[in-house]
Each structure stands twice: as structure tokens, then as C-alpha cells.
Amino acid sequence: MSFGAARPRPRLDRDNRAFWTGGAQGHLMICRCGDCGKWLHPPQPLCRGCWSENVAAQPTCGRGVVDSYTINHQPWMPGLEVPFVIARVALEEDPSIYLTTNIVGCAPEDVAVGDAVQVTFEEDEGIFFPLFEKVAQ
């Protein structure tokens, strides 16, 4: 799927750069505390678990599960192809970490809560938006 319309571009900073550019190496990069091991998202410089500043982005396996989703039929922007799926994906490393994303590569009506999904990336001039595709089961 192509999103058609341009996605809003994030402003890169020290904390979120790995998340938005990790797709160049095919990696979904999520911040993790080096002291207590807690995964953290959105990217942040301080661990919410132990207040350590020893936080750095690490590659994840890129897999997750659809926790909830909605099908958007509203063409919010010119060029935006509808319908498309907006989903909340729980990451395999820590199912309490969610990404709000799109499920691509299948018809919107084929998406269901509990679907296993795998990250894929849509690149726009150096920004790699993490999207997810269903994993054949």
C-alpha cells in the first residue's frame, strides 16, 4: 500500500532519531533501559521504571499483535487513499508497549484483534515509518 498523501514528518531529535531511521537497516528500534531492562516508548531519555538515564534504542524483533484497530474511511487529505487500517500494535518484547500504526498488505476487513503482525517500513526522504503486515499463520 502507498499512503498516497504525505505523512506528517517527525522532527528528529537525539531521543527519537533511531526510531524514525532504524528502518534503513530494517530494524524497529525501541528505547530500552540499560539498568532495569524496561522497554520505553515513545522514545525518552529517562527510564520510567528506575529513573536511570542509561537509556538507548535497541533493535526489536519487529513482531507484535494487533491490540485494537479502526478502519478509516474519511479522506482527510488530498491523495489519501481510503479505506485504511489504523491499529494499536502491542510489541512482542513487551506487550504493554504499543505503537499506533497502519496495517498494510491486506484488505482492511481481513484485520482482526489478535492478528500476529510484522513490521515493514515506508520510507519518505530518510524517515522510515514503521507499518505492520499480517504474518501468515
Please give the angle made by the CA atoms of 37, 45 and 13, to the nearest 5 degrees. 130
Name the residue type at position 105.
G
Are 31 and 59 in contact by the 8 Å Cβ rule? The answer is: no
Mark the segment that binds Zn ion (CB under 5 A) among 12-20, 34-42, 83-91, 113-121: 34-42
**Whole-angstrom distance, CA of residue 104 vs CA of residue 47:** 32
Regarding 52 and contact with Zn ion (CB under 5 A), the answer is yes
C-alpha cell, 20: 524514525
Residue from 26, 49, 95, 126 in contact with Zn ion (CB under 5 A): 49
**Smallest distance, Å, CB 49 to Zn ion?**
4
Shortest reach from residue 56's CB to Zn ion, in Å: 12
User: Which spans of this chain sit near Zn ion (rule: CB under 5 A)?
Assistant: 33, 35-36, 38, 47, 49-50, 52
